[in-house]
């Protein structure tokens, strides 16, 4: 028997605590509560929960919310949720200081997302438009611009760089 942590089905799962960017900490250290896996949410709940986590500077955790939607939702929506998960992981890597991986995932997610939005008849729309109110063109611009800054050596604060998933809202 090896010493790896396992879930109820015997799959390897690290029980180590994690920080806000999902990095493993030493056993016994205080970490950030993990997102439960396999939660089925409505698209609106997915967007709301992910935005809350992004705003809190926790893109790794937001990626897990998007991953749940991608894996539990209809196959016709998988590309949308997978692209959003890639953007969240790209922001995670960029905030961790991994410029190459961060920029690569931001660009990959932007390219994939560009194929799911305006005019593409994406899930949650009537003949195209903003799927579930998600600002696809704005997110694509955000990801490409951030990827360029990351490649140029910019330090990234995950909360300060958190994208708006929907249209910009008025802030008090």
Q: 30-54 pLDDT, tens per residue? A: 878 777 777 889 999 999 999 999 9
DSSP one-letter string for the chain: -----B-TTS-B---S-B-TT--B--TTS--BPPPPSS----HHHHHHHHHHHHHTT-HHHHHHHHHHHHHHS-GGGHHHHHHHHHHHHHHHHHHHT-HHHHHHHHHHHHHHHHTTSTTTT-TTSSSSS-GGG--HHHHHHHHHHHHHHHHTT----TTTTPPPSSS-----
pTM for the complete prediction?
Answer: 0.81
Q: 116-162 pLDDT, tens per residue? A: 654 444 444 434 567 999 999 999 999 999 999 999 999 999 999 99
Q: What is the per-residue pLDDT for 26?
A: 81
Q: Which band of pLDDT confidence, cut at 50, 70 and 90, is reported for residue 68?
A: very high
């Amino acid at each position: 028997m090896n010493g790896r942590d396992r879930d109820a089905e015997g799959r390897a799962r690290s029980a180590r605590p994690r920080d806000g960017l999902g990095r493993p900490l030493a056993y016994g250290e205080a970490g950030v509560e993990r997102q439960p896996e396999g939660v089925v949410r409505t698209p609106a709940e997915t967007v709301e929960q992910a935005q809350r986590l992004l705003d809190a500077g926790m893109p790794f955790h937001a990626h897990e919310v998007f991953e749940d939607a991608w894996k539990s939702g209809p196959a016709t929506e998988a590309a949308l949720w997978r692209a959003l998960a890639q953007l969240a992981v790209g922001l995670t890597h960029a905030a961790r200081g991994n410029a190459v991986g961060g920029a690569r995932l931001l660009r990959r997610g932007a390219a994939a997302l560009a194929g799911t939005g305006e005019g593409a008849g994406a899930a949650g729309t009537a003949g195209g438009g903003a799927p579930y109110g998600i600002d696809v063109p704005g997110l694509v611009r955000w990801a490409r611009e951030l990827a360029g800054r990351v490649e140029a050596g910019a330090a990234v604060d995950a909360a300060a760089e958190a994208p708006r998933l929907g249209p910009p809202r008025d802030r008090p």
